Amino acid sequence: MCGFIGIAGAPGTHVAPELYEGLIALQHRGQDAAGILSYDGMFHLRKQNGMVRDIFRTRDMQRLKGNLAIAHVRYPTVGMGTEEDAQPFYINFPFGVGMVHNGNLTNWMDLKSRAYPASNITLESSCDVEAILYAFASGLKDADPTLPREDRVRLAVQSAFETAKGAYSVAGILSEGALFGFRDPSGIKPCIVGKRETDAGTEWAIASESVALDVLGFQRVRDLRNGEAIVIEPGHEPVWIRVTEQDHRPCIFELVYFARPDSFLDEISVYKTRRRFGKALAKQWLDIGAPEPDVVIPIPDSARDAALSMAQALAKPYREGFIKNRYVGRTFIMPNQEERQQSIRRKLNPIPLEFEGKDVLLVDDSIVRGNTSRRIIETARAAGARKVYFAATSPPLVAPCPYGIDMATEKDFIARGREVEQVRNSIGADYLAYLDLDRMVDAAKVGNPKINGFCTGCFTGKYPTIDAEEHLVALAAERAQARD
Ligand code: AMP
């Protein structure tokens, strides 16, 4: 999972400093590497591994000139996460095209090892945007140059859709002086377009999450539809191009965990959805006759909104029982189980007053490996809790994500092949409930009834695109090799 933003500023402006601010707003989508590519008749690039604030200096901003620019934060899924894999990527021949993406190709290994070498194209990184970039550029090369730009871009995006399978949203720059974006045929990854009026003129932006638009003063115009592209030439109205039409299946895990609560994805407020998840979970808790807690405590940060509405619906007090140290970093990226367990404890410290002698209900967004929940339950008991109940605002995670959310391989999922009772026992809770799949999907749909389904592959093992299963087998092998 990654984040990107692109801006088509008014002629004569330099937008890179704003992209820097946009990347800071998207940092939660990837902390591995970041980059900005700008264009003022020439491409200018700065990218490196690390956090946004550590990569860019004033001198970079002075060099990254131009009113067209794209920027990226990276969260690695395939490859070793080396410097070469950082985005943006660009080429100058046969056309000047720059590109960033969020997503994952399920046929990338085939493209890299077979299809591209057969056309004498060498992919030089493990980053799958490179494969999309070449597919797009070759579609552009094959298009009749006398066609209007809109038709050439349609052919280029069609070529990308035919070649690159999986889930991806893209933003890019055409050296003929335009910003473009497109979203894969299932629309699994988010992509939103915004507009603002400035003294210099009307400006447009494309981003992974609306929060990046908000902080830069862009109004949300609308999300790109699945299989849709947009081309924006500064000083002109954008051209929206529907390239293919099929079922739209946005990722539900964005709403559960990944996106910021202040974002809107496909018109759905993440914040309100999490509140609905909490309310639905409270209803389920009462329907199944689960034990009555004295207090509801969220696992910060992603479960807060749901826990608060769950507490309200259960008519129980909501308390912040855990204080999070923001500077510990993600426990998920620790290479082994023991290190992950240690850093979870350092990351969350309890306020014993909220636990002593009480039956506590801990609420988290999801249980993946179960390390976080096990450790937190131990901590709650050590802080004096009498009973520790646990509720997850999503169903059991049982299947890896082929589209770029770094979950785990099959055997790492604590719930895979286990009954809820076995998971409860393993994490040491006195009671455990997961939000039902149907209740979760219904609660998400309320935000936009036009969406008639989501990608729920990580909960069901059923994926909306072809090739997904094959890709997962190859990915598991690659991960096992990396571990060795
Ligand atoms: P665990 O069950 O210990 O593997 O971790 C579950 C916790 O990690 C949940 O509370 C989520 O907030 C968080 N989480 C879930 N999925 C991811 C992910 N793909 N990357 C990072 N953190 C995640």
CATH of the domain at 401: 3.40.50.2020
221 and 303 in one domain?
Answer: no
**Boundary-marking domain end, from 217, 249, 281:** 249
Q: What percent of the chain has pLDDT over 90?
A: 86
289 and 202 in one domain?
Answer: no
Supply the pTM of this predicted model.
0.94
**Boundary-marking domain end, from 193, 216, 249:** 249
Q: Tell me which of 14-28, 231-245, 451-465, 467-481 is least confident.
A: 467-481
Q: pLDDT band at 269, cuts 50/70/90?
A: very high
336 CA to middle of ligand 1, Å? 15
What is the tens place of the pLDDT at every residue in 181-232? Answer: 999 999 999 999 999 999 999 999 999 999 999 999 999 999 999 999 999 9
Is 60 exceeded by the pLDDT of residue 335?
no
288 and 238 in one domain?
Answer: no
Position 56 scores a pLDDT of 98
The answer to the question of residue 131 being in a domain is yes
Angle (CA) 231 104 270, round 5°:
75
Q: 75 near 31, Cβ under 8 Å?
A: yes
Instruction: Give the atom of ligand 1 at the shortest distance from the alpha carbon of 369.
Output: 4
318 and 237 in one domain?
Answer: no
366 CA to middle of ligand 1, Å? 6
240 and 277 in one domain?
Answer: no
Token readout for 375 is 């450790």
234 CA to middle of ligand 1, Å? 41
Q: Which of 140, 30, 58 is nearest to 96 (CA)?
A: 140
405 and 314 in one domain?
Answer: yes
* Polymer length of the chain: 484
Q: pLDDT band at 451, cuts 50/70/90?
A: very high
Q: Could you tell which of 372, 406, 424 is best to mutate to test the pocket of ligand 1, judged by most ligand atoms within 8 Å of the CB?
A: 372
Q: What number is the average pLDDT over the span 289-311?
A: 97
412 and 334 in one domain?
Answer: yes
143 and 82 in one domain?
Answer: yes
List 139's β-bridge partners, or say none: none
Nearest-10 Cα torsion for 20, 25, 29, 34: 10
Q: pLDDT band at 339, cuts 50/70/90?
A: low
What is the tens place of the pLDDT at every residue in 340-363? Answer: 667 777 889 999 999 999 999 999
454 and 331 in one domain?
Answer: yes
Position 479 scores a pLDDT of 63
The answer to the question of residue 45 being in a domain is yes
**What one-character DSSP code corresponds to residue 436?**
-
The answer to the question of residue 468 being in a domain is no
242 and 148 in one domain?
Answer: yes
The closest residue, in CA terms, to atom 13 on ligand 1 is 366
Mark whether 2 is an active-site residue. yes
Position 341 scores a pLDDT of 67
The answer to the question of residue 259 being in a domain is no
Token readout for 214 is 């908000």
230 and 304 in one domain?
Answer: no
Instruction: Give the atom of ligand 1 at the shortest distance from the alpha carbon of 364.
Output: 10
What is the tens place of the pLDDT at every residue in 90-115? Answer: 999 999 999 999 999 999 989 999 99
The answer to the question of residue 483 being in a domain is no
Q: Could you tell which of 366, 369, 378 is best to mutate to test the pocket of ligand 1, judged by most ligand atoms within 8 Å of the CB?
A: 366
The answer to the question of residue 296 being in a domain is yes
371 CA to middle of ligand 1, Å? 9
Position 251 scores a pLDDT of 98
CATH number at residue 155: 3.60.20.10
The closest residue, in CA terms, to atom 16 on ligand 1 is 407
The answer to the question of residue 282 being in a domain is yes
Residues with CB under 6 A from ligand 1: 257, 299, 302, 330, 332, 364-373, 405-407
Q: Could you tell which of 28, 332, 378 is best to mutate to test the pocket of ligand 1, judged by most ligand atoms within 8 Å of the CB?
A: 332
Position 82 scores a pLDDT of 81
181 and 117 in one domain?
Answer: yes
Among residues 2, 127, 251, 458, which one is catalytic?
Answer: 2
Mean pLDDT of the chain: 93
First to last CA, the chain: 24
Q: What backbone phi and psi angles, to 5 degrees, belong to 389?
A: -100, 150
Instruction: Give the atom of ligand 1 at the shortest distance from the alpha carbon of 1.
Output: 19
Q: Domain range for residue 283?
A: 270-463
Q: 87 near 2, Cβ under 8 Å?
A: yes
The answer to the question of residue 214 being in a domain is yes
Q: What number is the average pLDDT over the span 119-135?
A: 93
The number of domains in the chain is 2
Instruction: Give the atom of ligand 1 at the shortest distance from the alpha carbon of 412.
Output: 4
